[in-house]
Structure 1
Amino acid sequence: MRSIFNEHLFEKRYFELVATLIVFVILLILRQFFRTIIRRHVLKYELDIRQRQYANKFFNFMLFIVFLSLLCIIWDVSFRGLTIYFASFFTIVGVALFANWSILSNVTASIILFFNSPIKIGSKIEIMDKDHPVVGTVLDINFFAIQIQDEAGCEIWFPNNLAMQKPIKQLEK
């Protein structure tokens, strides 16, 4: 009886190890696929290397979350004992995200700006805001804001989610 139990346990662990290895290899292939797409986009639109790094970090983080989720499914992680901790954690995170919803919208907008925006680092742009128009040179585009240096030499940080909502005029290429 004991040897049957050990054989069954070995077969189950063998499946879990093989499935983990397969998921890991698939995610490495997906990571390389995303990196290739990002690299081609950067070369096509002559974007700065920093923009490529931000996009790579975003997709690496998302693949890591997918990998952890799949590992929990494969290894049959039981959340029964952790339910109270997860409920408390997600309650705090939910309140924090509701209070700071713009953080998530800025990160999402940064990815949209990376793939769909003609502006790049070094571009001279005008953000056509009715109350406070911004004219200057783009110094950096990160996850949260576009850093612009105006003609007076002042640095202006314009949130990505607002850049998605305002018309942007490219003055020079």
Structure 2
Amino acid sequence: MFSFKEYSREIFATIILILVFIILRMVIAKLVKNFAASSQLFEHRTNLVIKYINILMNILMTISLIVIWGVQTDDIFVTISSIATVIGVAMFAQWSILSNITSGMVLFFSFPFRIGDTIKIHDKDFPIEAEIEDINTFHVSLKTKEGEKIVFPNNLLLQKGISIIPAKYEEREFFD
């Protein structure tokens, strides 16, 4: 039979954890949005980063709840190792997807280039000079001067040398 007195410590700790978790989520989301606004980053990129941070925080909260409620550590390790094994085997074949997501996060926070910039990708076999149209989780959409659209994986952007080509402005005489 469930007794409130018997589990009062766990219930109280769970309530505190949930409140701290909610406040922490709001604070982190606000910090990321402020960072994105000051860096003039696009909203959908900001929302993706917030989504990834929330997933990590949910995992940490679940682990904390497991510890608070006293689940046996042997059971936790068996469960986590089983899940990690299944995920590891499934994701081994999908390493490029994870690499692109991680690279997308790096590009978000380091923002070496922005949408609208013209870049030159220094690739020995296939050099590319194009304007950045969009930066997504997995890839960057580019458009060449000839109108060709290129989808370039994020992880290759971090591996290749890239030059940002300054915008060319026509010098005109000013008439009053």
The TM-score with structure 1 as length reference comes to: 0.80
Given residue 66 of structure 1, which amino acid in structure 2 is its aligned partner? Answer: L
Report the AA paired with residue 158 of structure 1.
Answer: F
Distance 2:121 2:71 in 1: 49
Note closer, same or farther for the CA distance 1:168–1:25 as it changes in structure 2 (3 Å cut).
farther
Cα shift at 1:142: 2.1
RMSD: 2.7
Cα distance, 1:83 vs. partner? 7.8
Instruction: Please list the CA deviations of residues 59-85 of structure 1 after superposition, one character each: whole Å capped at 9, or x if unmatched.
Output: 111111111111222223358679877
Match of residue 124, structure 1, among 114, 118, 121: 118
More moved, 146-155 vs 71-80: 71-80
Judged with a 3 Å threshold, the aligned counterparts in structure 2 of structure 1 residues 26 and 82 are, in CA distance, closer, same or farther, namely closer
Alpha-carbon separation, structure 2, partners of 1:127 and 1:34: 34
Structure with the higher fraction of residues in helix conformation: 1
> 1:149 and 2:143 equivalent?
yes
Aligned: 1:58 with 2:56: no
Measure the CA separation in 1 of the matches of 2:34 and 2:84.
Answer: 37
Match runs of 1:1-173 below 5 Å:
9-78=3-72, 88-172=82-166
Secondary structure, counterpart of 2:163 in structure 1: strand
Runs of 5+ consecutive residues of structure 1 not aligned to the other structure: none
Report the secondary structure of 1:11's partner residue: coil
Deviations 1:49-104 (A, max 9, x none): 12111111111111111111112222233586798776554333212222222222
TM-score (norm 2): 0.79
1:33/1:127 CA distance change after superposition, 3 Å: farther
Identity among equivalent positions (%) equals 34
Higher RCO (Cα < 8 Å, 6 or more apart): 1
Distance 1:88 1:165, change over 3 A: same
> Is the 1:35–1:56 Cα contact (8 Å) retained in structure 2?
yes
In 2, Cα distance between the equivalents of 1:38 and 1:165? 26
Cα deviation code 1:91-122 (max 9, x no counterpart): 33212222222222222211111111231223
